[in-house]
Amino acid sequence: MKKNPPMPQRLVASRLGAGGRTVVPRAVREALGIAPGDEIGYVIEDGRVELVRLRSKGENPFAAFGEWDSEADREGYRPL
């Protein structure tokens, strides 16, 4: 039987609500440097899940305009 890795020194909990929704606790938001509108990701490995920051809302000025969010557009606007 495989042993789970030791629990981290600081455990922060939240409750799963209707529809699988939860609130990301303030301590976690602060640790990741995330705010409303930011993207987060879930790394699933060996029965554990790691929450990671993907992109801040402010990092992509064209995020609200899906038609301007192709790889060609990003390449064209990169020098700006």
pTM: 0.56
> What are the sequence ranges of the domains in the chain?
18-77
Is residue 71 scored above 90 in pLDDT? Answer: no
Q: Tokens for 46?
A: 């060996």
Alpha-carbon span 39 to 20, nearest angstrom: 17
Are 16 and 22 in contact, with CB atoms under 8 Å apart?
yes
Residues 17-23, mean pLDDT to the nearest whole number: 92
Judge whether 24 and 37 are in contact, CB under 8 Å: no
Q: Number of C-alpha atoms within 13 angstroms, CB side, residue 55?
A: 7
- Does 41 or 79 have the greater pLDDT score? 41
The type of residue at 75 is E
Overall CATH class of domain 18-77? mainly beta
